[in-house]
Amino acid sequence: MNKNIQGHLAALTANILWGLMAPVGKSALAEFSALSVTTFRMVGAAACFWLLSLFCKREQVDHRDMLKIFFASLFALVFNQGVYIFGLSMTSPIDASIVTTTLPIVTMIVAALYLKEPVTNKKVLGIFVGAMGALILIMSSGHAGSGGGSIAGDLLCLTAQISFSVYLTVFKGLSQKYSPVTMNKWMFVYASMCYIPFSYHDIASIQWEGISAAALAQVGYVVVGGSFLAYICIMTAQRLLRPTVVSMYNYMQPIVASAVTVIIGMAAFNLEKGIAIALVFLGVYIVTQSKSRKDFEQEGKEV
């Protein structure tokens, strides 16, 4: 398969899996604490990746890169997925998913600061339009009709997106140097080490006999679908595509999550959310249509 197509399919698959995370994860939080779900996710995914690594070619990680992988795990997992779960526990699935569509805009800003990507008029316009959409969503979450949303929860979900944008941009070199399995098995181990000391009490106090089979299945999806499979896909995409292109696929998340939550009656879709989605999508489109640093350099060579 063409590597470019492979990268796009991997990014699309990862974001479909994450789109289902909002309604499924929200249901699991009815019987488990956010800290418990996050720890199950980190430890469970770490076990899956280490098991998979037994059947893959062994890669030796440079000891100098281990520290970089630790910081990568902080931005990609601890500050991203952990904070997202806490935000999701405080807000509605639709609100949480719409906030995730700001990732391409945030990634453009981080890329401009770190990779020296040019800031064009299109990028500025796209950032403004997308920010207006996110602002409408956050403000509407304070209203009773927001389907369980909250400003604090939405801001936590936004913080998670900022963290992941840093990971996509700053740690792209690591994802190209090592395979997704090698990267993930160490990243999830580090993330587990960060969460276990703080979640021990929560997990020890769980009354397992009172936990439903549905809740266990939902946690299983969070571990296998939303973590193990999704992170294999997103790191494959990160190796093959530019950070801004990878982040663009986040628009699939609110589509998937909104469809599921409305169908099962967990939340209502109103006009404000529709306007917010339209503005964020428009902002993402404008930003991703702007020229990259490589485009400008190529034009300079042709001149």
What lies within 8 Å, CB to CB, of 22 at 6+ separation is: 88, 93, 94, 96, 97, 253, 257, 260, 261
- By residue count, the chain amounts to 303
The tens place of each residue's pLDDT in the chain, 303 residues long, gives 688 789 889 988 998 898 888 778 878 888 998 889 889 999 999 999 999 999 988 888 998 899 999 999 999 999 887 788 788 778 876 677 677 777 888 887 887 888 777 777 887 887 788 778 777 766 665 554 445 667 888 888 889 889 988 998 888 888 888 999 999 999 999 999 999 998 889 999 999 999 999 999 999 999 999 999 999 999 899 888 878 778 878 777 766 766 676 676 656 667 777 787 788 778 777 876 766 666 666 666 654
pLDDT given for residue 136 in this prediction: 76
- Rounded distance between C-alpha atoms, residue 104 and residue 287, angstroms: 8
For residue 222, the model assigns a pLDDT of 92
Q: What gap in Å lies between CA 233 and CA 10, rounded to an integer?
A: 5
Q: Which long-range contacts (CB under 8 A, 24 or more apart) does 171-179 make?
A: 171/68, 171/71, 171/72, 171/75, 171/76, 172/238, 172/243, 174/65, 174/68, 174/69, 174/72, 175/235, 175/238, 175/239, 176/239, 177/65, 178/59, 178/61, 178/65, 179/56, 179/59
CB burial readout 66-95, b (16+ within 10 A) else e? eebbbbbbbbbbbbbbbbbbbbbbbbbbbb
- What local confidence, expressed as pLDDT, does residue 20 receive? 85
- Give me the pLDDT at residue 262, please: 67
Q: What type of residue is 167?
A: Y
CB 236 within 8 A of CB 6: yes
Joined together, the tokens standing for residue 78 give 């601890």
d(CA 44, CA 51): 11
The overall longest dimension of the chain from CA atoms, in Å, is: 72
For residue 90, give the amino acid letter: M
Side-chain-facing half-sphere of 231: CA atoms under 13 Å:
32
Q: Which two tokens stand for residue 28?
A: 């699991």
Q: Which residues contact 223 (CB under 8 A, 6 or more apart)?
A: 40, 41, 44, 45, 48
Give the pLDDT of residue 238. 86
Residue 195: φ, ψ to 5° = -95, -35
Contact 36, 199 (CB under 8 A): yes
